[in-house]
Amino acid sequence: MPHHDATLADHSVAVAFYAFKMAKLCGMAGNADQIVRGALLHDFFHYDWRTAKPRSGGLHGFDHPREALENAEEEFGPLTRIERDCVLRHMWPLTPIPPRYGESLLVCLTDKAIALQESWRALRSGKGLGVL
């Protein structure tokens, strides 16, 4: 289930790593554990988004955060309110409700930066984005 030429695991670890680094720079190191868990789980869905749909039958971009949260809580038990917000709100502003906490805003912005870097790398390698 690649995100362009990166796997979802590669993507999630990169988001967690850079969100952790940014948390330290932004004075949020006290909640770094929740930021890392939220980042690692933000895309915890189990289908290839290019060829399949979420369980809801809706659009991937809008519905995968809810599915990722359901999968995460089924696998690991209840998440904290910050971890839940990291997962549920990471697609803002595509999804209309913004992150509620600084920690979840940090994961949301880091996800976009990493996705942009992955897209740029895929384009530069000549592989394209693999979505068209």
Query: Rg of the chain's alpha carbons, rounded to an integer?
Result: 14
In angstroms, give the least distance from the CB of 30 to Fe ion: 25
Nearer to Fe ion, 24 or 92 (CB): 92
Query: CA nearest 45: which of 32, 54, 36, 37?
Result: 54
- The residues binding Fe ion (CB under 5 A) are 43
Nearer to Fe ion, 28 or 88 (CB): 88
In angstroms, give the least distance from the CB of 42 to Fe ion: 6
In angstroms, give the least distance from the CB of 115 to Fe ion: 8
Residue whose beta carbon is closest to Fe ion: 43
Nearer to Fe ion, 43 or 85 (CB): 43
Nearer to Fe ion, 61 or 128 (CB): 61
